[in-house]
Amino acid sequence: MLQFSYRGRDKEGRLRTGQRQAADADSLNTELLKEGISVFQISLAQTKQNYWDKIQTKFQNDRLHLDELAIFARQMQLLHQANVPMVTAIKQLASYTRSQRLARALYSIIDDLEKGQTLSVAMQQHVQIFSPIMVSIVQIGEKTGHLSDAFGYVHQYLEFESNTRKQIKTIFRYPLFVLISIFSAFIILNIFVIPTFAKFYVNLDIPLPWQTYILINLSNFLTHYGGYTLLLLVLLGAFIFRYLRTAQGKYRWHKYELRLPLIGSLLKRVILIRFARAFKIVIHAGISIDQGLLLIRDTLTNTYVIDQVTQVQEAIKRGMGFTNAIVKITLLTPLEIQILSVGEKNGELGPAFDYIANFHSHEIEFDLKRINDQTGPILTGIMAILILIVALGVYLPVWNMVDLIKT
């Protein structure tokens, strides 16, 4: 149920305003008509929320997944193909969506459409939900009379973006879990377990092996200076975080992350797939190459690649051919540039980008398997080494003490 504000007049002509919950605006309008109120304005209410309600709204109701936006685009395509009026179609989708954030945007779009604005102009008012490339594709669809095809392209784009993000999360989920487990176990052992054994061994006054000395000294350091160390790490992390938010820091990191072992090549493939898929869609949507590069640049997050795309766009503006300009994107291999060159000559640049995207989509599956195969043994080895050091440090003195007793 959504909270709506309404304005209307009763049978005596008096102004009636208020707020009420309803499944959608049409249901509320019908309900008020039964009460003798003729409504001339209905909008989603901006309700006051306490602290906990805001947290719940932030993490539940206002969460907008790409999957839900992709479903919206697909449903818009089907409804438009069925010749359902635009306002009616959006009202239906707004009433069924689980995201209040998307529902508010759709009801706002309905108001703009009823005022005579086009759909693309209305969507531009909600840039946090509808990206520039989505708005441009819809705008081209409006101008060419192929709006259903435009929503089909938007659905393809959003579906790809959603799958890409899921793949990236899959890559880092297991290693991150293992690293957090190792770090937590390390802290617990050094703060709570090892100090107990250290007191016991000191009282025995027996020679200790080097493994035990390392554990005891490390535990003493963390016990006495752990707070200062944590503060230093927090300050260092804050400094690095602020630096990475600067233009120079972000550019350097984005350039470096593409060279990272294991995941560097994977990140390159993800960026290339995103670039190629988006380029194919804007070409099929009838957007010019120059305008398409501008839109695609706004969808990328790696500033190093964004800078290269900007160079390509400026080169094309100066009259350079597309194939000669695209060389500036260093992620593309000579073979891929040759494929694009042939596609440009034959007027099939869209299929050429589609081929590149499909190739890297298949390769990324092997990259994921390779990363999982390599990170698994590495993390297992790290855990085994730590367990071995702790076990030797704890039990070697016991064995030495047993030998001394026997002798």
97: how many CB neighbours lie within 10 A of its CB?
Answer: 20
User: Per-residue confidence at 378, pLDDT binned at 50, 70, 90?
Assistant: confident
Is the same domain home to 171 and 195?
Answer: yes
Q: Are residues 33 and 71 in the same domain?
A: no
Domain stop point among 159, 193, 223 = 159
The answer to whether position 54 is within a domain reads no
Phi, psi (degrees; rounded to nearest 5) at 61: -65, -35
**Is there a single domain that holds both residue 143 and residue 184?**
no
Contacts of 19 (CB under 8 A, 6+ apart): 3, 4, 5, 6, 45, 47
- Is residue 55 in a domain? no
Please name which of 312, 349, 313, 304 lies closest in space to residue 328, comparing C-alpha atoms. Answer: 312
| Residue 303 covered by a domain | yes
313 contacts 296 by C-beta, under 8 angstroms: no
Judged against a pLDDT cut of 70, whether residue 23 lies above it is answered with no
Q: 114: domain CATH number?
A: 1.20.81.30
Number of neighbours of residue 215 by Cβ within 10 angstroms:
23
Q: Which of 231, 222, 233, 225 has its CA nearest to residue 194?
A: 222
Give the pLDDT band (50/70/90) at residue 1: low
229-243 exposure pattern, b = at least 16 Cβ within 10 A, e = fewer: eeeeeeeeeeeeeee
Percentage of the chain modeled with pLDDT above 90: 21
Q: Do 283 and 142 fall into the same domain? A: no
**What mean pLDDT comes out for the span 225-253?**
93
Of 124, 159, 194, the residue that ends a domain is 159
Answer whether residue 49 shows pLDDT above 70: no
Do 236 and 138 share a structural domain? no
What are the tens digits of pLDDT across the range 288-322? 888 888 878 877 889 999 999 999 989 998 888 88
* Cα dihedral 71/135/339/314 (nearest 10): -150
Say which residues have a Cβ less than 8 Å from residue 368's Cβ, sequence separation at least 6.
Answer: 167, 170, 171, 266
* CB distance 187 to 361 below 8 Å: no
Give yes or no: residues 233 and 222 share one domain.
Answer: yes
Mean local confidence (pLDDT), 85-96: 90
Tell me phi and psi for residue 252, to 5 degrees.
-65, -40
The residue range of the domain holding 94 is 60-159
256 and 285 housed in the same domain:
yes
243 within a domain of the structure (yes/no)? yes
Q: Are residues 358 and 329 in the same domain?
A: yes
Residue 40's pLDDT is 64
Mean pLDDT is lowest, of 17-21, 22-26, 280-284, for 22-26
DSSP, res 209: -
Domain count, the chain: 3
Torsion angles phi and psi, residue 263, rounded to 5? -95, -10
pLDDT in tens, 316-366: 988 888 888 999 888 899 999 999 999 989 988 889 998 998 898 888 878
Pick the last residue of a domain from 115, 141, 159: 159
For residues 131 and 36, membership in a common domain is answered with no
> Which residues are within 8 A (CB) of 204 and not within 5 positions of it... i.e. 6 or more apart?
397, 401
**What's the first-to-final CA gap in the chain, in angstroms?**
81
Q: So what's the pLDDT on residue 284? A: 79
| 91 shares its domain with 194 | no
Q: Is residue 146 part of a domain?
A: yes
3-state helix, strand, coil in the chain (%, to 5): 75, 5, 20
Are the beta carbons of 290 and 317 closer than 8 angstroms?
yes
CA dihedral (130, 133, 134, 135) in degrees, to 10, reads 80
Element (H, E) at 214: helix 210-245
The Cα 287–Cα 280 span in angstroms is 10
Residues 35 and 72 in one domain: no
In a domain, 17, yes or no: yes
For 407, residues 6+ apart whose C-beta sits below 8 A from its C-beta are none
Tell me, yes or no, whether 53 lies in a domain.
Answer: no
Q: Is residue 369 part of a domain?
A: yes
**pTM (whole model) above 0.85:** no
The verdict on 127 and 172 lying in the same domain is no
